[in-house]
Each structure stands twice: as C-alpha cells, then as structure tokens.
Structure 1
Amino acid sequence: MDLKAKMPSKVESIAVAVGDVIKSGTPVAVLEAMKMKSPLVCPIDGTVKSIAVAVGDRVKPGALIVVVE
C-alpha cells in the first residue's frame, strides 16, 4: 500500500524504518501544513518496504511517503 501526502506539506518526522513490521493505526510520519502537524497513519498491518522522503522534504499532494506491504 502506498501512503501519500494529502496536501502540500513538509515532512516533520518519520516514525518507521524499512523492514519494520507495523499494525493498522501505526503513525508512520508527521506532515506539517499551514503550521498544523498531521500524523500519516497506516490503515493496514504490514512491513515497511520503502521510505520515499526524508525529514525536511517538501511534498506535493499525492507524493509518495511510505510503501507498506
């Protein structure tokens, strides 16, 4: 499952690493938009396969953040 940004944002933090096994509801990153911090939560159980961003990156809507399988 591809987890993507919903709005233009800055990556504030990343809470997972490649290879982590996570449960549904796990926050994988925090995105900041308009001075509001919003956690990006994984809706499925799985394993983190890749992380497409780094802390401090600015992303556009639809930008890939994390891939979970």
Structure 2
Amino acid sequence: MDQLEAIRTFLEVARSGSITAAATRLAVSIAMVSRHVKGLETQLGTGCFPATRVVCRLQKWGRCTLIACISS
C-alpha cells in the first residue's frame, strides 16, 4: 500500500465525513477508500473511524493521526 495515498485518502475521509464522498472527490472506488483507511488503521494499530462508518467521525487516535498528517 502506498502510504502517501493512504494518508491522502484518510485526510479526505476526515474532511468529507464520508467514505462515499471521499471516493467521489478522489475519483476512486469506495472499496479502494476503505482499503486505504483499513491499511492505515492496521499500520497504526488502532481504528481512526468508528467501525460502522456510516458517518465518519474521527475517534481519538484518528484525531491524533489527522494532526500529525497536517503538521508534517
């Protein structure tokens, strides 16, 4: 998995609050967005978004990841 692409996808999901909206904005499939987010969560060892993901609101570790991505 391309880490930069995963981070870019994560940032878009956080911004839009939706995997579907992020997929549309990034012009990729919903499955690809889900794969990138899951891969990043696996690398971090924690979930960034709730398991339901109907509305993607960042959890504690997701907010920390967002801050780290923006600060870099």
Higher relative contact order (Cα pairs below 8 Å, separated by 6+ residues):
1
Give the alignment's TM-score, normalised by structure 1: 0.29
The structure where strand makes up a greater share of residues is 1
Give the alignment's TM-score, normalised by structure 2: 0.28
